[in-house]
């Protein structure tokens, strides 16, 4: 949930490639993904993001757009409605 919360706030995401996170975070589009357990890659991603605030802001804006398009409450309601209509 914290990944989606960050995206909804327009923040770039740095995360490990675990679970469903790669379905929300597109590497180098709205964040950076690193292999699980790779502390060096995580540190490098954090340093790179801090060194390029313009890129970080652009990734944050893109993440917010992805959130609104795919994960917002409105989108969830649309999907549930479609599912209920399909079942009925």
- Provide the CATH number for the domain around residue 81: 3.40.50.2000
CB atoms within 10 A of CB 23: 9
Sequence-distant (6+) residues with CB within 8 A of 13 are 3, 6, 7, 24, 25, 30, 31, 32, 59, 63
Long-range contacts of 68-74 (CB under 8 A, 24+ apart): 68/8, 70/24, 71/4, 71/7, 71/8, 71/24, 72/8
CA distance 32 to 16: 8
- pTM confidence score: 0.81
Judge whether residue 81 has pLDDT over 90: yes
**88 confidence band (pLDDT: 50, 70, 90):** confident
| Mean predicted lDDT score pLDDT of the chain | 94
The 10s digit of each residue's pLDDT in 28-64 is 899 999 999 999 999 999 999 999 999 999 999 999 9
Domain of 59?
Answer: 2-87
Please provide residue 28's backbone torsions phi and psi, each rounded to the nearest 5 degrees.
Answer: 70, 5
Q: What's the domain count of the chain?
A: 1
């Amino acid at each position: 949930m914290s990944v989606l919360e960050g995206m909804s706030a327009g923040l770039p995401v740095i995360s490990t490639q675990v679970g469903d996170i790669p379905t929300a975070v597109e590497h180098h589009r709205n964040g950076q993904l690193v292999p699980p357990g790779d502390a060096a890659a995580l540190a490098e991603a954090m340093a790179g993001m801090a060194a390029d605030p313009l890129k970080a802001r652009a990734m944050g804006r893109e993440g917010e757009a992805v959130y609104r398009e795919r994960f917002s409450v409105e989108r969830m309601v649309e999907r549930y409605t479609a599912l209920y209509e399909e079942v009925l």
